């Protein structure tokens, strides 16, 4: 039922490993740079619509759940430093069938993250161009859900990033630092201009829709409903988890780096949310495609709003690049294992998986053209929550089945942390709208059908 399992031979880093040059301050900075990005720029308005001013609390809850999952992820990433992330971990700890389910969930996650970021980027681009006096054809600025035909800017940016990856382009460290700096400076500017307009009356009532997720007027409302979508804002912590080999003292530095970066990012998000809902009634902020720029325009800071939008336009495509790159690597790992056609794993002369990248980019662009940002983020979160649950389960399983396997980092209180991660992710999943849960269930059934029809018969472990 569970299928064959992979071994843990990949656990030992080849060639003696990388140089140990990173202390905990470096890891916190790395985590903050990776995590702070699209979610806070694009989903603050959606979270405020669902929780009211209590969106501040929603960020805290999502950050706490992610911190537990990140500690479990760090242990497995140091044991099995191979491509495929949670898919590979599950293959080694539990078996092929569950590995397929997790791999399929990752494919859903990465595809929809790329689409979500593309739609968010489009919102800021359109807002920036309109503030500069340029009127664009509205039919090509949104999908059918908003009365348009196609979100053309979202499609174009997804295709552009796909082209860069096919050409073999990678982010340089210097470019990444510059883009991270742009994002953080823009958020600082937002706080500086929004806080003086803070009005305590805008925080009343603080929790208008209660704590638990509930359906009101056909929409999912409540603090947990908001947490289930702003969870998207914490993607990227795996950058810290996978740096264990370069940490000077992995056991100490990774704990500080992961928890520290989560505390820092959660604090940043809570301050941004407080400034936003304090400066503007949350109902006016709801579902804006460019919530931070909207707040600044509402308080008369038009130039600062243009700066925020420009920063998003410049920096957010790098997020699409990172996740489209990650998606292609999950596809690659599954194709190499025979669960997907191995022809997809063929590399170009430059060493790039062109076929997989082309497929990933076209799917992400097509989805971005027709669906709204909240639906995309919710479905992406569903896939991520399944992957996080799998990582926590795998960590606890391997503590029993492979207790002596080398671990550069050992998760503290593994049973407690793993259980909290699982329960937290299950609660967030249950807080997603029923339509999102239904769509994810349908996508999972389709994935299982593909596995039974093709992957199970062609699995390299089975036929070899």
Q: What is the pLDDT of residues 288-334, one digit of tens each?
A: 778 898 999 988 898 898 888 888 888 788 778 877 877 777 787 78
CA-closest candidate to residue 391, choices 426, 418, 353 = 418
CA-closest candidate to residue 107, choices 438, 378, 332 = 332
- CA–CA separation, 27 and 21 (whole Å): 11
Question: Does CATH place domain 22-403+411-458 in 1.20.1740.10?
Answer: yes
Q: 315: which residues sit within 8 A by CB, 6+ positions away?
A: 37, 179, 180, 182, 183, 186
Paired tokens of 216: 């009101």
- Exposure letters 165-189 (e unless 16+ CB within 10 A, then b): bbeeeeeeeeeeeebbebbbebbeb
CA-closest candidate to residue 330, choices 113, 15, 172, 75 = 113
For the chain, the structural domain boundaries read 22-403+411-458
Given this model, what pLDDT does residue 32 score? 79
Residues 161-196: tens digit of each pLDDT: 888 888 765 544 456 667 777 888 888 999 999 999
- CA–CA separation, 464 and 462 (whole Å): 6
Return the SS3 of 150.
strand
Paired tokens of 83: 């491509």
For tokens 């399992």, the residue is 5
Residues of the chain with pLDDT under 70: 1-3, 6-19, 34, 38, 81-84, 168-177, 238-239, 241-246, 287, 350-352, 464
Given this model, what pLDDT does residue 421 score? 95
Given this model, what pLDDT does residue 464 score? 63
- CA of 320: how far to CAs of 29, 141, 147, 240, in Å? 21, 19, 26, 19
Given this model, what pLDDT does residue 247 score? 74
Given this model, what pLDDT does residue 12 score? 42
pTM of the model: 0.84
User: Rounded to an integer, what is the distance from CA 187 to the centroid of its chain?
Assistant: 19
């Amino acid at each position: 039922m569970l299928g064959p399992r992979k071994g843990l031979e990949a656990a030992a880093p080849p060639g003696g490993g990388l140089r140990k040059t990173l202390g905990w301050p470096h890891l916190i900075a790395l985590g903050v740079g990776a995590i702070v990005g699209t979610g806070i720029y694009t989903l603050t308005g959606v979270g405020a619509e669902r929780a009211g001013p209590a969106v501040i609390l929603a960020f805290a809850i999502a950050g706490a759940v992610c911190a537990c999952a990140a500690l479990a992820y760090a242990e497995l990433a140091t044991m099995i430093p191979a491509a495929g992330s949670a898919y590979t971990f599950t293959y080694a700890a539990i078996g092929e069938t569950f590995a397929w389910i997790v791999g399929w969930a990752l494919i859903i996650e990465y595809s929809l993250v790329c689409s979500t970021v593309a739609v968010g980027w489009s919102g800021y681009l359109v807002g920036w161009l309109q503030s500069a006096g340029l009127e664009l054809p509205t039919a090509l600025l949104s999908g059918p859900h908003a009365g348009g035909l196609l979100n053309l800017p979202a499609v174009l940016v997804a295709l552009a990033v796909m082209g860069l990856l096919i050409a073999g382009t990678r982010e340089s460290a210097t470019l990444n630092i510059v883009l991270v700096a742009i994002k953080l400076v823009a958020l600082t500017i937002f706080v500086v201009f929004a806080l003086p307009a803070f009005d305590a009356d805008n925080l009343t009532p603080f929790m208008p829709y209660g704590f638990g997720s509930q359906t009101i007027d056909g929409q999912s409302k409540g603090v947990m409903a908001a947490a289930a979508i702003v969870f998207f804002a914490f993607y990227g912590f795996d950058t810290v988890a996978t740096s264990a080999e370069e940490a000077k003292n992995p056991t100490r530095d990774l704990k500080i780096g992961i928890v520290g970066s989560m505390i820092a990012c959660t604090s940043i998000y809570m301050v941004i949310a407080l400034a936003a809902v304090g400066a503007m009634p949350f109902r006016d902020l709801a579902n804006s495609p460019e919530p931070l720029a909207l707040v600044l325009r509402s308080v008369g800071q038009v130039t600062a709003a243009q700066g925020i939008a420009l920063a998003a336009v410049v920096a957010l495509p790098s997020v699409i690049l990172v996740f489209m790159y990650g998606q292609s690597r999950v596809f690659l790992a599954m194709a190499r294992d025979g669960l997907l056609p191995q022809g997809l794993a063929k590399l170009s002369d430059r060493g790039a998986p062109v076929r997989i990248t082309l497929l990933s980019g076209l799917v992400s662009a097509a989805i971005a053209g027709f669906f709204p940002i909240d639906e995309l983020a919710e479905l992406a979160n569903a896939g991520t929550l399944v992957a996080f649950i799998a990582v926590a389960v795998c960590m606890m399983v391997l503590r029993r089945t492979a207790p002596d396997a080398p671990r550069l980092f050992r998760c503290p209180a593994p049973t407690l942390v793993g259980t909290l991660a699982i329960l937290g992710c299950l609660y967030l999943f249950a807080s997603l709208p029923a339509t999102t849960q239904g769509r994810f269930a349908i996508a999972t059934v389709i994935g299982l059908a593909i596995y039974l029809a093709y992957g199970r018969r062609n699995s390299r472990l089975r036929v070899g």
